[in-house]
């Protein structure tokens, strides 16, 4: 009888689980569920709909397919984040080809693909379009490279059910504009089109108008340089449009009074707009919920005048850098060129108590301003500070006490970046970061600490830290970095540039363990961007280490050296 009751109870639990688990979406909750028992592991495997792979070399396409055969959405990241700042060799890796091959044969339920910082070939797009075009709803090629408009032509032709096409900041070789024409001809369900911040220039207005006519649910469009006056008919047909970004203003300002934007438009990005064109925005400023002024050519007075007319604004992207300068205490809160003084930073922390994200580039800063942030911004989840090299002398360094106060006060922080200059933080301050960052999962540190002792003290804390990036750490030895990596119990990924590198990297083997890949990028000379004389600068050596179920990758370029015990013995 007891055995029968246990069997019935188990069946009831299984039925309940079958009903409940599909509604658990949070990846961490899913991971916890899958570790309870074999049955729960199998249920997670069968019902998992979305997976994000933070580094494409941590597993293999076949392993992913076996683990989650019914995926509907996949996000895959390739090159390290440092590639966005030209710090990683272009040929480092991150090819989508093996993944696309697997997707084309299996993953029948896959509807959404997001590739970030990866190398994509035209042949990859052709295979993907022909094999999965009929079911693909979203394709995001985010900061990718290696493909041309020929590859996009296949997407436009075969992906008739595509709702989202995202190409922002990708390096695309433009051969012609036929891809957009093909997309406009074949698609009637597109909702989002984004090729913002790309080199695509061959855009026929007739194709945009046709797209707007054929796709009644088009709600978001982000373009490159396209004269706004030429988009009058596009705006007329895109009646569902809620977000628009891009365009240029090359004609006389009075001509833009003829522009009539869609009634539902509430999110706007103004590219290269100046003072004379502001009246265009004033007409519908009251309904704007999001305003992107990243590339607007406006001064402080213009910004204030525009924002005052936007009472319903919820999101303001005013600059890639919110520059906050200390300035003279006798000056007002506003310094030259629209920058904000040290008093302005304190006022910001006191007046914006609900702020969750802050990224600041400063030429000077004080401990007091960081202490104010810790006191008032209790909801801060993501804080990033970069100290610029504009001032020869910073009067209030080191920032040990300010950083400690900020971290103690902002206990909800999950992401933390502190990029200083020599002398900005002592070993004691680095120890504070370890001690007072219990929930931080991603961290970027630059020019912090003084010696190995500070790094080792830091590594005794940070119990939740999964991803650590460091720069300007020439005073940290290879052995100390290796020991720190083993002491950070949750660490899954480590990237370091500018450390005390040796010819062989032998001391880094102190962090060797099963499933832990270690790669070196030796120091090299790199041509500076936008310098006609091709000035060469020295890029210090890199370490990249990460957990991988796939073992060492096989597509190393000459610029990357895998570190294994046998390698160091031979050296």
| Token pair 């402080």: residue | 300
Contact 61, 86 (CB under 8 A): no
Task: Map tokens 């000379």 to a residue.
Answer: 525
pLDDT on residue 420: 92
Strands 267-270 and 357-362: unpaired
By three-state DSSP, how is residue 141 classified? strand
The dihedral sign for the CA sequence 474, 480, 481, 482: positive
C-alpha pair distances (Å), 382 with each of 143, 334, 447:
22, 25, 20
Rounded CA separation 508/217 (Å): 54
- What are the two backbone dihedrals, phi and then psi, of residue 66, each rounded to the nearest 5 degrees? -70, -35
Cβ density class 69-92: b for 16+ within 10 Å, e for less? eebbbbbbbbbbbbbeeebbbeeb
Q: What is the pTM of this model?
A: 0.89
| Neighbour-count burial for 378-397, b at 16+ CB within 10 Å, e otherwise | eebbbbbbbbeeeeeebebb
Inter-axis angle of helices 38-47 and 27-34, nearest 10:
140
d(CA 385, CA 531): 28
The closest alpha carbon to 141, from 88, 100, 102, belongs to: 100
Question: What CA–CA distance (Å, rounded) separates 570 from 401?
Answer: 47
Q: How far apart are CA 403 and CA 443, in angstroms?
A: 14
The full length of the chain comes to: 571
Question: Could you give the CA distance from residue 242 to residue 382 in angstroms, rounded to a whole number?
Answer: 28
Question: Do β-strands 192-194 and 243-246 pair in parallel, antiparallel, or remain unpaired?
Answer: unpaired
C-alpha–C-alpha distance, residues 341 and 360, integer Å = 12
Tens of pLDDT, residue by residue, the chain (571 residues): 555 555 555 555 567 667 777 778 888 888 888 888 888 888 889 999 999 999 999 999 999 999 999 999 999 999 999 999 888 998 999 999 999 999 999 999 999 999 999 999 999 999 999 999 999 999 999 999 999 999 999 999 999 999 999 999 999 999 999 999 999 999 999 999 999 999 999 999 999 999 999 999 999 999 998 888 899 999 999 999 999 999 888 888 778 777 888 989 999 888 888 887 788 788 778 888 888 877 777 776 787 788 888 888 777 765 443 434 333 333 333 333 434 445 656 777 777 778 888 887 777 788 998 999 999 999 999 999 888 777 677 778 899 999 999 999 999 999 999 999 888 999 999 999 999 999 999 999 999 999 999 999 999 999 999 999 999 988 999 999 999 999 999 999 999 999 998 888 889 999 999 999 999 999 888 877 655 566 788 888 999 999 999 999 999 999 999 998 655 544 4
**CA-to-CA dists, residue 158 to 4, 125, 134, 135, 180, angstroms:** 55, 10, 7, 10, 13
Task: Return left, alpha or beta for 143; rule: phi > 0 is left, psi -120 to 50 is alpha, else beta.
Answer: left
Asked whether 307 and 278 are in contact (CB, 8 A), the reply is no
Distance from CA of residue 472 to its chain's centroid?
Answer: 22
Which distant-in-sequence residues (6+ apart) come within 8 Å of 413 by Cβ? Answer: 380, 381, 382, 383, 407, 437, 439, 440
Gap between the Cα atoms of 243 and 267, Å rounded: 4
196/193 Cα distance (integer angstroms): 9
Cβ-based burial of 473 (10 A; exposed 0-12, middle 13-18, buried ≥19): buried
Per-residue pLDDT at 567: 54
pLDDT of residue 11: 59
Predicted local confidence at residue 331, as pLDDT: 34
Helices (H), 159-252: 178-186, 205-214, 232-237
**Token pair listed for 324:** 């906050």
DSSP 429-486: HHHHHHHT-SS--EEEEES--SSHHHHHHHTTS-TT--EEEEEEEEEEEHHHHHHHHH
Is residue 84 within 8 Å of 143, Cβ to Cβ? yes
Output phi, psi for 141, to 5 deg: -110, 90
Structure tokens at 4: 């029968």
Sign of CA dihedral 446, 449, 453, 457: negative
Question: Can you give the pLDDT at residue 529?
Answer: 64
Give the integer Cα–Cα distance in Å for 22 and 32.
14
């Amino acid at each position: 009888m007891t055995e029968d009751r246990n069997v019935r109870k188990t069946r009831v639990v299984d039925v309940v689980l079958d009903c409940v688990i599909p509604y658990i979406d949070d990846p961490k909750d899913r991971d916890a569920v899958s570790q309870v028992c074999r049955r729960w592991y199998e249920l997670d495997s069968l019902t998992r709909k979305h997976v994000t792979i933070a580094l494409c070399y941590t597993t293999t396409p076949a392993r992913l397919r076996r683990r989650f055969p019914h995926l509907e959405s996949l996000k895959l990241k390739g090159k390290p984040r440092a590639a966005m700042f030209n710090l990683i060799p272009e040929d480092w890796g991150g090819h989508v080809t093996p993944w696309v091959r697997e997707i084309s044969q299996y993953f029948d339920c896959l509807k959404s693909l997001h590739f970030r910082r990866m190398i994509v070939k035209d042949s990859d797009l052709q295979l993907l379009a022909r094999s999965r075009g009929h079911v693909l709803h979203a394709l995001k090629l985010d900061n990718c490279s290696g493909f041309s408009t020929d590859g996009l032509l296949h997407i436009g032709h075969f992906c008739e059910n595509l709702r989202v096409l995202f190409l922002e900041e990708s390096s695309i070789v433009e051969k012609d504009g036929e891809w957009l024409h093909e997309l406009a001809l074949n698609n009637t369900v597109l909702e989002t089109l984004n090729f913002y911040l790309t080199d695509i220039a061959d855009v026929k207005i007739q194709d945009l108008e046709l797209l707007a006519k054929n796709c009644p649910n088009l709600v978001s469009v982000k373009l490159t340089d396209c004269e706004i006056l030429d988009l009058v008919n596009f705006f007329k047909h895109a009646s569902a449009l809620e977000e628009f970004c891009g365009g240029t203003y090359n004609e006389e300002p009075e001509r833009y009074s003829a522009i009539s934007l869609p009634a539902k438009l509430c999110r706007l990005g103004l590219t290269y707009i100046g003072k004379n064109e502001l009246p265009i925005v004033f007409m519908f400023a009251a309904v704007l919920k999001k305003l992107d002024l990243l590339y607007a050519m406006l001064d402080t007075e213009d910004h204030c005048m525009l924002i005052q007319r936007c009472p319903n604004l919820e999101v303001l992207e005013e600059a890639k850098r919110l520059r906050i300068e200390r300035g003279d205490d006798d000056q007002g809160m506003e310094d030259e060129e629209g920058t904000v003084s040290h008093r302005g930073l304190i006022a910001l922390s006191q007046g914006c108590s609900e702020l969750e994200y802050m990224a600041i580039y400063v030429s000077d800063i004080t401990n007091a301003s960081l202490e104010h942030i810790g006191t008032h911004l209790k909801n801060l989840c993501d804080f990033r500070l970069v100290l610029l090299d504009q001032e020869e002398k910073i009067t209030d360094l080191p920032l040990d006490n300010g950083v400690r106060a900020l971290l103690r006060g902002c206990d909800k922080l999950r992401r933390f970046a502190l990029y200083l200059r020599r002398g900005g933080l002592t070993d004691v301050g680095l120890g504070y970061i370890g001690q007072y960052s219990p929930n931080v999962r991603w961290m970027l540190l630059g020019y912090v600490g003084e010696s190995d002792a500070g790094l080792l003290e830091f590594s005794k804390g940070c119990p939740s830290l999964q991803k650590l990036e460091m720069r300007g750490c020439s005073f940290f030895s290879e052995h100390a970095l290796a020991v720190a990596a083993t002491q950070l119990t949750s660490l899954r990924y480590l990237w370091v540039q500018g450390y005390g590198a040796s010819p062989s990297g032998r001391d880094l083997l102190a962090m060797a363990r099963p499933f832990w890949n270690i790669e070196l990028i030796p120091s090299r000379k790199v041509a500076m961007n936008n310098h006609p004389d091709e000035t060469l600068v020295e890029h210090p050596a890199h370490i990249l280490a990460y957990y991988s179920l796939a073992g060492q990758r096989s597509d190393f370029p000459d610029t990357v050296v895998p570190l294994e015990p046998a390698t160091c013995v031979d050296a």
